[in-house]
Chains A and B, each alone.
Chain A
Amino acid sequence: MTRILVLLLGALATVIFALVILVILPGTLLAKVDHAPELKPYTRQELHGRTLYIQNGCVYCHSQQVRDPSFTSDVARGWGNRPSVPADYRFDKPHLLGTMRTGPDLFNVGGRLPDAEWHLLHLYQPRALVPWSIMPSYPFLFEHKQQAEAGDKALKLPASHAPASGVIVARPEALDLVAYLLALKHNYPAPVPKPAPAANAVNKP
């Protein structure tokens, strides 16, 4: 090659082509997915919990997607009763699909493990509940107090992980994060996409 312009235009053309195919086209196609009526926008508290989920990098070990049972064990493991579809993520910004399953999938964790106290205890010290777990503990979401005050959520720790004196109390952050986890409940049937008018026109001669 001897021309700079060929290099520049060729380089721009290839990357813009890829942008159109993988970003702009899906953007126009996916923007208006109708979500199932059971899927509700996150509450303020759940959204704050979601921010904490992002801040503390839960996504690096937990995915939030259920794949087709024909070639994975996701449904058989009880991680969901159907593959997840784009409409399930209508309110997710940014997405938290994840690429690692060092820990189990959380797409349906609110349905699978609906006990808030279990989650609080598990966040404080996963190995108090699951001895083989390699999940980090999150003691900074909790507070060590001599005595629980009114409205405090005190943990019922097993003796092996309990402090020598006083109680472990959940900070608001821990409660918000658990609220978000419990909101991850996609056990409704997948929404049926409305047939596009163009498709109908093609079908009717």
Chain B
Amino acid sequence: MSQDPAHPDPAHPDPAHPTGHFRHHPVREATQRDSAIDHSKVRVSVIDTARFDASSRAPVLLGFLLGILWLLQGSLLGDLTSFKFDWPDLLSAQEYLTFGRVRPAHLNMMVYGWASSAMFAVSLWLMPRLCRTPLRWPGTAMAGIIIWNIGVFLGVALLLTGVGDGLEWLEMDRRLADPLLILGAALVGASIWRTLADRKVRHLYVSVWYVAASYPWLVIIFIAGNLPIYEGVESAAVNWFYAHNALGLWLTTINLGLIYFLLPKIIGRPIYSYWLSLVGFWGLALFYSLNGMHHLIGGPMPSWMIATSITASIMMVIPVLAVGINQHMTITGRFGAMRYSPALTFIVLAAMSYTAVSLQGILTALVNVNRITHFTHWTIAHSHLGVYMFVTMSLFGGIYYIMPRLIGREWPSANLIRAHFLLVGGGMVLYVVALGIGGVLQGLDMLDAAKPFEASVTAAKPWLLARSVAAVLITLGHFVFAYHAYVLYSLSKTDVVPQPPFFFIRPVLVKNIK
């Protein structure tokens, strides 16, 4: 099934299907034509690529800058949140820093500040590359990023002063903050779709599906989630419809698009299977969007809603395995390339975490597992495996790949990248393992009615302390990363380039050797 560039002649069709209707299948023909062209012809000169990169440079760098600033603040608040489990009287005198406010502030800063800003940047960089045309409406995109970030700033500031909507993942004030977020995302989306409409390629690469579709998805679910018309348990249904889809149809999709782009790009080998990509994309769109109610298993909802979500959660096996197999088969045999590309290291870790977190999510949606893990720290471990080990790692990989190309210089220090990787990677493994164990112990104690509630609290305490250690390691890693990005950026102000970065040299293709 691999799209093999070694057989460029369309006059000789695929020997696997020499006759019959397969030969005239329109999608198949398009796929074959696009993948059969000799790569040296498809690869527009580096000058063209540099032109596309230049067209998106300003909004992309802005998105990364704002994202990294949120990342640092969000980590500090995350640490504070974690410390408050260990020392509950820490900084409790001020209402602005009470646990119940810094926790949602941490989540909102990370999801809407850090991840979303960086994802705007990533999508604005990907689209010109994949559509082989300069970015359309870059000013609009830039305005969108700024408006979105003003919205996040207002939302988080209001949250800390006690103004918010009170729904998890939707805490930001629906009158003052949310309209700005909707407008911001719509403006960035407009630039994305305008570029897509003016594309210079016929075939839409899989990353384009994910990135382009994410924008209408985000705007629709965000508006639906924030309407002030729901009450009672319906408000819970909408809450988890939104929160789960913010993960599934926004955070996940943009990052899968990025992984689908960078994996083949860095190792110089096409994606293993076009059809698996299709199954992965449409399967995710159909099943992920129905998953939300598994956050309310056993709750006061009509059982058909919960059953729908459990079923859809189990069906997620299909797209998750499709994407997992597709990406694994693409990179298999080339894992060694991770030694030379930090971007690839982060991306591969992110891709594996996507499979891991999805399988863990499916497992958690099963009633027998859920009765133990529901309402425990296991959920927090799971969400960090998703939003950190998958989403944030993928964004780190993206930034390591994209920033030097926009600045025209290599990252100055391999050791700082190593330190960053070891701190955040090691920290997050400790985080997920510790909270996972703590959560299960807590859940088992809670399920046993013979034990007092105290048992579930004390069982989790040492693991919460381990989580705090992990949180500090991760924060250190973020500061290393931010410092390194700052050094790289400030180098662009000096004009002497000691040697051209490797990506300015015309790339030599790695031929697919059989």
Chain A residues in the interface with B (C-beta under 8 A): 1-2, 4, 7-8, 10-12, 14-19, 21-23, 26-27, 29-31, 33, 54-61, 63, 65, 67-68, 71-73, 76-77, 83-86, 88-102, 104, 126-127, 132-140
* Nearest residue, chain A, Cβ from B201: A2
Tell me if B367 and A60 are in contact (CB < 8 A). Answer: no
User: Do B204 and A4 have beta carbons less than 8 Å apart?
Assistant: yes
| A100-B379 in contact (CB<8A) | yes
Find out whether the CB atom of B89 lies under 8 angstroms from the CB atom of A136: yes
Asked if B352 lies at the interface with its beta carbon under 8 angstroms from chain A, I say no
B376 within 8 A of A: yes
Task: Provide a sorted-by-A list of 21 A–B residue pairs whose CB atoms are within 8 angstroms.
Answer: A2-B203, A7-B212, A8-B213, A14-B285, A14-B289, A15-B217, A15-B221, A15-B249, A22-B241, A23-B238, A29-B302, A30-B302, A55-B162, A93-B230, A95-B232, A99-B295, A101-B456, A102-B377, A133-B88, A136-B89, A139-B92
| Contacting pair A92 B302 (CB below 8 A) | no
B163 CB to nearest chain A CB (Å): 8
Closest Cβ neighbor of B286 among chain A residues = A14
Contact B101 A17 (CB under 8 A): no
- 12 other contacts beyond A1-B209, A94-B230, with CB at 8 A cut-off? A1-B204, A2-B203, A7-B208, A15-B217, A22-B290, A56-B98, A60-B99, A71-B371, A92-B231, A95-B239, A97-B236, A102-B85
The complex places the Cα of A134 from the Cα of B99 at a distance, in Å, of: 11
Binding site for A on B (CB under 8 A): 27, 30, 84-86, 88-89, 92-95, 98-101, 103-104, 162-168, 196-197, 202-204, 208-209, 212-213, 216-217, 220-221, 224, 230-239, 241, 245, 249, 278, 282, 285-286, 289-290, 292-293, 295-296, 298-302, 305, 308-309, 367, 371, 374-377, 379, 446-449, 453-454, 456-458, 460-461
Q: How far is the CA of A48 from the CA of B458 in the complex (A)?
A: 33
The CA-CA distance from A27 to B229 in the complex, in Å, is: 10
Task: Determine the chain A residues whose CB is within 8 A of the CB of B224 once the complex forms.
Answer: 19, 23
Please pick, from B30, B84, B164, B232, the residue contacting A33 in the complex, using a CB distance under 8 A.
B232
Minimal beta-carbon separation of B171 from chain A (angstroms): 9
How far is it, in angstroms, between the C-alpha of A83 and the C-alpha of B84 when the chains are bound? 32
Query: Known: A56-B162, A140-B94. Is A77-B221 also a contact (CB below 8 A)?
Result: no
Instruction: List, in ascending order, chain B residues with CB within 8 A of A22's CB.
Output: 237-238, 241, 290, 292-293, 305, 308-309
